[in-house]
Amino acid sequence: MAHAHPDHLGAAERIHRETDVTVHVHAPEMPRARGEAKGASPFTLVPSLLPTMWEAARSAA
């Protein structure tokens, strides 16, 4: 896995579940991959994510 951002984690978990392949994670990313890291929320990882999503939703309406 390139890094433990939510999009990669979700895809890796699904691929593992469906194919039983081993997923390799860099040691420094393990706490985030396990959900143990402070700031593991995507909104903490990418502080601008929520306002960007909100603006996109408002624009689409």
d(CA 10, CA 32): 12
Average pLDDT on 25-39 reads: 79
Q: Quote the DSSP letter at residue 34.
A: T
d(CA 39, CA 30): 13
| Total-model pTM | 0.47
- On the question of pLDDT at 19 being above 90, the answer is yes
pLDDT category of residue 18 using cuts at 50, 70 and 90: very high
Instruction: Tell me the pLDDT of the chain averaged across its residues.
Output: 75
To the nearest whole percent, how much of the chain has pLDDT over 70?
A: 72
Average pLDDT on 11-36 reads: 84
